[in-house]
Amino acid sequence: MVAMAVLVREGIVPFQFWYPALYSSAPLPVALLATVPQVGSYTAVRLLVGHADGVASELVTLAHLAPVTALYGAALALVQRDLRRLIGYLAFSQSALVLAGLAGVLPMELAGGLALWIASGLSLTGIGIVAAALEGRAGPLRLDLPQGRFWDAPALAGFFLLFALAGLGLPGTLSFVADDLIVAGSLADHLHSGILVILATVFAGIAVIRGWFGIFGGPTTVDAPRHGILPRERIGCVILLATIVGCGIVPGPLVKTLEQASAALLKHRHDSFSESSTSSSGADHP
Output the 3-class SS for 99-122: HHHHCCCCHHHHHHHHHHHHHHHH
- Residues 200-211 have pLDDT tens digits of 989 999 999 999
> Is 277 a domain residue?
no
Residue predicted with more confidence, 218 or 121? 121
Considering its fold, how many domains does the chain have in total?
Answer: 1
> Is 9 a domain residue?
no
Are 169 and 176 in contact by the 8 Å Cβ rule? The answer is: yes
> Is 274 a domain residue?
no
Instruction: Determine which helix (DSSP H) or strand (DSSP E) holds 216, and give its type and residue range.
Output: helix 191-216
- Residues 230-283 have pLDDT tens digits of 888 899 999 999 999 999 999 888 888 888 877 777 665 545 444 444 444 444
Report yes or no on whether pTM surpasses 0.85: no
Domain containing residue 174: 62-261
Cα 123 to Cα 132: distance, rounded to the nearest angstrom: 14
> Is 106 a domain residue?
yes
> Is 103 a domain residue?
yes
Cα 6 to Cα 99: distance, rounded to the nearest angstrom: 9
User: What is the mean predicted confidence (pLDDT) over 79-92?
Assistant: 90
pLDDT of 125 > 80? The answer is yes
> Is 246 a domain residue?
yes
Cα 178 to Cα 157: distance, rounded to the nearest angstrom: 25
> Is 25 a domain residue?
no
Q: How many CB atoms lie within 10 A of CB 1?
A: 5
pLDDT of residue 189: 65
- Residues 87-111 have pLDDT tens digits of 999 988 888 888 877 776 677 778 8
pLDDT of residue 159: 93
User: Which range among 44-58, 142-156, 213-227 shows the weakest confidence by mean pLDDT?
Assistant: 44-58
> Is 33 a domain residue?
no
